Amino acid sequence: MRARVFVTLKPSVFDPQGRTIAEALHSLGYGGVEDVRQGKYFELDLATTESAQAKALAAEVADRLLANPVIESYRIEVDQ
């Protein structure tokens, strides 16, 4: 089973990379893109076929390593 983990900076944390990308898009004429937040995306191939187990395992590794709770939060999706 595959789990997808999306790690992003918390809303309260300034994202200098996202800001620079947004400014680049504005200079390309994409004024409709109001802001950009850059994050990280992980695909985990898991041995389990149980979606509850997959979610729990993905959350455990996200808490332990993939995200730093001081600056980041994460969201998990698993294949049905």
Partner 1 sequence: MKFAVIVFPGSNCDQDAYHAARHVLGQSAEYIWHKDIDLKGADVVILPGGFAHGDYLRTGAMARFSPIMREVEAFARRGGPVLGICNGFQVLLEAGLLPGAMLRNRGLKFRCEHVHIRVEQTDTPFTALCRTGQVLRIPIAHGEGNYFADPDVIAGLETNRQIVFRYTTPTGELADEANPNGSAAAIAGLCNEARNVVGLMPHPERACEPILGSGDGMVMFESVVHSLKTGALVARA
Report the sign of the C-alpha dihedral through residues 53, 41, 36, 33, in that order.
negative
Phi-psi region of 49 (alpha: psi -120 to 50; beta: other; left: phi over 0): alpha
Q: Out of 37, 53, 71, 73, point to the residue binding partner 1 (CB under 8 A).
A: 71
Beta-strand relationship, 39-45 and 72-78: unpaired
Asked whether position 27 contacts partner 1 by CB under 8 A, the answer is no
Q: Please count the residues of this chain forming the interface with partner 1, following the rule CB under 8 A.
A: 12
Tell me how far, at minimum, the Cβ of 16 lies from partner 1, in Å: 5
Binding site for partner 1 (CB under 8 A): 9, 12-14, 16-17, 20, 65-66, 68, 70-71
